[in-house]
A and B are shown apart, each in its own frame.
Chain A
Amino acid sequence: MPEGSGDGLVLPFAPAIGGALGLPYNAARPSPGGTVVIARTSVDADAGLAALMGAAQGGDEVAYRKVLHASVPLIQRTARRTGVPPSGVDDVVQEVLLAIHRMRATFDPTRSYEAWLSAIAKRRAIDFLRSSGRRSSRELFEPIAYENHADDTDVAAGAELRSEGVRLGAAVATLPEGQREAVEVLAYGEKSLEEGAALTGRSKTALKVNLHRAIQSLRSRLSGSG
């Protein structure tokens, strides 16, 4: 992870608020002590980025590379928080990187880099949402295509699939030796009957019967408990 990105959601708020109010960078620095420790390190990381950007303004290519790489996760976070769908985040990141390049003279290294960056990123994200809103208003109404399109991030379905997998694995483990072997070789290993017979040393018929019995007992067990 690049520096300044490993501290979760606490990171951008203090500098961003200070920046929005037009306060100098140090005014947004949280007071020391207790729970603010995470924010303190992030403020230090922010100060580091500000110094790197200051060097980049002077033409330091290495510093510029570092600051751009470190900006990517910050932009992604701002884009996601503004409501940009996962498929659009990369486009927003690219736009913002170009905007950083064009507007780099407007950055003041005594102020927060993250506040500067998040202001740019937020406006680009809103621009993206506006233009994609315009695009979608011209699109055709296709309910079947919409229904058939897999979601980009269906977290719930993914979790359900994983828990189904766990249940199936547990059920397979309780099968008798021959049946479990048939499931592992033919279903999990995706082998043909010939390959399975060669691997296990059993006949093809025995494998087929075992798999059939295994599926039957798994079906009754899983549907019974589900």
Chain B
Amino acid sequence: MAGTRMDDLIDGLATRLQPVRRLRPPLLRAAVWLCALLLVAAALYAILGGNAGAMAERPYIAPAFVAALATAVAAAVAAFQLSLPDRSDLWALLPLPTLALWLALSGLGCLADLGVPGTWGASFVEMRECVLVILASAVPLSVLLVLMLRRASPERFGRVALVAGVAGAAAAGAVLMLVHPHNSTALDLLLHGLCVAAVIGLNAVLGGRLLRRTQERERA
């Protein structure tokens, strides 16, 4: 009968019971990740000799920086909330307003420089540095986020990984603006858009797969 089968299952689960470390509250975990973001930003700033003062000289950079940072924080909070089974799906919408603001401000920064020499493209060296900064911040921060999210609720792997990708990309954008404060050129914007899309896409594909694999290992 179904009753005894259920009893057997409960019995089996109870005998196999191991103490587990309860997950810390999502806000606390987001704060830990934010600390890592600040560390990465400080390290890159020191290594590459950033010039944050230059931010004030150009319009849109400072607000775009704030918007990107806010997007990273909001997306990290949303990812940690979504990773718990009993939290609302609506958390996924949290980073959207600041994300839209960040992208709009980047676009405006680019438009403001129209007509100024160099609007249509940075030098190759500058571009290489941009990509390096983005990779050096996005990769470790995304990996850390995926590691912290590995016990996510399996029904929402895809969504959690997507939001985590937004967090990683926005963090990279904020670090880039801090280290390299110039208004985006059209090429910059395109490049950045590609990098952001790549980080989000990689996270969604790899992140989802990584999350699933860790779960399956734990299940075994």
Contacts and interface: CB of A to CB of B under 8 A. Distances in A.
Interface in A102-119: 102-109, 111-112, 115-116, 119
A56 B83 contact: no
Nearest to A72: B6
Contacts of A69: 10
A115 B84 CA distance: 12
A105 B91 contact: no
Interface class of chain A by DSSP: helix
B88 A57 contact: no
B22 A107 contact: yes
27 contacts: A19-B87, A20-B86, A22-B87, A22-B91, A54-B22, A59-B19, A61-B14, A65-B14, A68-B13, A68-B14, A69-B10, A94-B9, A97-B10, A97-B13, A98-B13, A99-B154, A101-B16, A102-B154, A102-B218, A102-B219, A103-B153, A105-B151, A106-B23, A106-B83, A108-B84, A115-B86, A120-B86
Interface residues of B, number: 33
B10 A68 contact: yes
Contacts of A56: 17
Nearest to B87: A22
Contacts, number: 89
Contact of A97 (B2, B9, B83, B153): B9
Interface of B: 2, 5-6, 9-11, 13-23, 25, 81, 83-88, 91, 151, 153-155, 215, 218-219
B148 to A, nearest CB: 13
Given A21-B88, A57-B20, A108 B25 contact: yes
Given A64-B17, A68-B13, A105 B86 contact: no
Give the interface residue-count category, chain A: 35 or more
A3 interface: no
A69 B9 CA distance: 10
A10 to B, nearest CB: 19
Interface in A66-124: 68-69, 72, 90, 93-94, 97-99, 101-109, 111-112, 115-116, 119-120, 123
